[in-house]
């Protein structure tokens, strides 16, 4: 693949700065949003470049509280008890605030509108952008997401297992790299279906640690997702070309979450990724994902 120019910048939403990177210098605008505690790096460079080769100019961003974007440490760390039993008390900011962050990046890029693609929490943010700022969204792609935390959520014992792993403190890049692999052994696609790219996961884990390490920020994002109201009724009002993609065996946000999203949005296309789990999508399914993103982008007015 020919060299593709990558530029970096920061957008502002009030006092909050949002770090972003742009692949390519022209093309159909497309913005990628990532999930809880995950930095923009979890959208692989090669995935972004493959989208550029299909005619997009691609941006990816760090949400608030991760990576090189503003960390709201002054808001404190939500308590687990509150997150479970009093989610509104645990919430430090809303999904609407994160949607406004996204629009701030569009403004910084000079994009009046864009194709918005989000995974997990990023998919929920993308849904909220489409609800609150429909004119800014050319097409919506919601991946491994749900219209409500209560729809398709992980089984309790699985959540505890993942939470316990993520709660282990990290002291250096090596520990971060090892944790990244361990997390996606639980969340991701079984190696019996597709090979795990351990080298890439280790690289992203280590680089993410170098960029920032903020367990409390991850919890603040999680509290936002848990406390967000059900978006089903609002999604029913959308008139935006929409693609819903979901891993067939996603254990974190189970398939019923993706089905509920597609059912809510008029004329949404549902693509079930066979044998795929949550996040860190195998390279082997990229062509299917990218082809469907291209098709839904072509449906815009």
Residue 9: its pLDDT value, please?
Answer: 98
Distance CA 63, CA 66 (A): 6
Distance CA 61, CA 156 (A): 31
Q: Which of 12, 86, 22 is nearest to 59 (CA)?
A: 22
Q: Where are the domains of the chain?
A: 6-297
Residue 300: its pLDDT value, please?
Answer: 59
* DSSP code of residue 73: G
Distance CA 42, CA 57 (A): 18
Residue 221: its pLDDT value, please?
Answer: 97
Residue 84: its pLDDT value, please?
Answer: 87
> How far, in Å, are 53, 116, 246 from residue 281 at the CA level?
19, 18, 10
Q: Which fold has domain 6-297?
A: Rossmann fold (3.40.50)
Low-confidence ranges of the chain (pLDDT < 70): 1-2, 300-301
Cα torsion 129, 55, 69, 66: sign: positive
> How far, in Å, are 159, 162, 193, 255 from residue 207 at the CA level?
26, 21, 27, 31
Q: What angle do CA 220, 221, 227 make, to 5 degrees?
A: 90
Residue 2: its pLDDT value, please?
Answer: 64
HSE of 137, CA atoms in CB hemisphere, 13 A: 28
| Overall pTM > 0.75 | yes
């Amino acid at each position: 693949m020919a060299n593709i120019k990558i530029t970096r910048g920061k957008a502002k939403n009030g006092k909050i700065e949002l770090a972003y990177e742009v692949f390519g210098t022209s093309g159909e605008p497309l913005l990628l949003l990532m999930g809880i505690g995950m930095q923009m790096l979890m959208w692989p460079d090669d995935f972004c470049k493959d989208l550029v080769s299909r005619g997009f100019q691609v941006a990816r961003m760090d949400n608030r509280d991760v990576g090189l974007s503003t960390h709201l440490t002054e808001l404190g760390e939500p308590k687990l008890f509150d997150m479970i039993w009093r989610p509104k008390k645990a919430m430090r900011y809303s999904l609407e605030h994160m949607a406004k962050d996204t629009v701030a990046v569009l403004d910084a890029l000079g994009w009046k509108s864009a194709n918005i693609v989000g995974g997990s929490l990023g998919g929920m943010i993308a849904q909220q952008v489409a609800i609150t700022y429909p004119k800014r969204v050319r097409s919506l792609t919601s991946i491994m997401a749900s219209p409500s935390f209560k729809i398709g959520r992980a089984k309790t014992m699985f959540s505890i297992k993942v939470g316990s792993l993520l709660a282990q403190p990290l002291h250096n890049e090596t520990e971060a790299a090892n944790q990244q692999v361990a997390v996606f052994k639980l969340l991701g696609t079984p190696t019996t279906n597709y090979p795990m790219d351990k080298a890439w996961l280790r690289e992203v884990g280590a680089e993410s640690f170098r960029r920032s390490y903020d367990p409390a920020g991850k919890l603040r994002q999680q509290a936002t997702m848990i406390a967000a109201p059900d978006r089903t009724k609002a999604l029913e009002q959308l008139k935006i070309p929409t693609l819903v993609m979901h891993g067939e065996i996603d254990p974190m946000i189970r398939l019923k979450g993706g089905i509920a999203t597609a059912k809510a949005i008029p004329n949404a296309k549902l693509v079930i990724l066979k044998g795929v789990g949550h996040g860190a999508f195998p390279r082997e399914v990229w062509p299917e994902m990218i082809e469907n993103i291209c098709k839904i982008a072509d449906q815009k007015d």
